[in-house]
Amino acid sequence: MDETSLRQALAGLPVPDFKYFPSAGSTNDIALEWAEKGADDGCLVLADTQTNGRGRTGRRWVTEPGAALAFSLALRPTPAEAQQTGLFSPLAALALTQVLAEQYQLEARIKWPNDVLVNRRKVCGILVEAAWEQDRLTAVVVGVGVNITPASVPPADAVRFPATCVEQTAGREINREHLLAQILHAFFDWRARLNTPEFVRAWEERLAFRGEWVRLEEEGQPTLTGQLIGIDPNGNLRLRTREGEERSVMVGDVHLRL
């Protein structure tokens, strides 16, 4: 991966500018800083390896050199998007699952709200962060980490959910620049339809564990167990409890009820 090949791969996308780093702390941090300094909508930060990659809920995200895709998009949300920033994670997840299904024949699924699974193992994590000026939302950064080669897969004892990578599941070599461009094309296509019934339907169709019994965990909240039914029009997860009651949940981590 280098600047020239990236420039070619990104041609035709609404990405006005990009920064590529062979090694960076966290692409999300760089994109947030760039957004504060005026980055236009769609500016992209990419790193071959991250020394301080961040995951959700303060976890570390490791990006080994040459093994993964690690990028962050700086976005300037429209007023309508600013009302529904919670949909940017599923937007990125939907883009990747669609590309993996259509281009690589992989049965990719979205583990609500935003991890991407193949064969029930995680291939991608997404971290969306916002920049504010007083109480005004000025930018949203969508950070995406995709495991590509086996070297990107963390050891089983280092992760909360089993992981895999695209090459292992697709059974062939993956060109990271091509995959990046495909994800971004799908991302911007779906962005134009954010929160349309079509968007929610596509997200729900790709939802992992539908019909299965799951545990929903959220720090400081009692664990909720239920059968995963789907997504409501607001993007909340719908569960049916053992008592037959339907519950909509806004936040939490889905685990298989074992």
Summarize as ranges the residues that interact with ligand BTN (CB under 6 A): 26-28, 50, 53-56, 59, 61, 70-72, 115, 125-127, 143-145
Is the Cβ–Cβ distance between 137 and 129 less than 8 Å? no
Which residue's Cβ lies closest to ligand BTN?
Answer: 125
Whole-angstrom CA distances from 177 to 10, 120, 143, 189, 252 are 8, 25, 16, 18, 32
Please state the closest distance from residue 58 (CB atom) to ligand BTN, in A. Answer: 9
- Please, what is the minimum distance in Å from the beta carbon of residue 157 to ligand BTN? 17
Nearest to ligand BTN of 34, 61 (CB atom): 61
Nearer to ligand BTN, 55 or 232 (CB): 55
DSSP string, 133-201: ETTEEEEEEEEEEEE-SGGGSPPGGG-SS-B--HHHHHTS---HHHHHHHHHHHHHHHHTTTTSHHHHH
Specify the residue, 122 or 206, whose C-beta has the smaller distance to ligand BTN. 122
CB 207 within 8 A of CB 228: yes
CB of 230 to ligand BTN, least distance (A): 22
What minimum distance in Å lies between the beta carbon of 69 and ligand BTN?
8
Nearer CB in complex with ligand BTN: 60/178: 60
CB of 170 to ligand BTN, least distance (A): 20
Contact 63, 24 (CB under 8 A): no
Contact between 27 and 50 (Cβ < 8 Å): yes
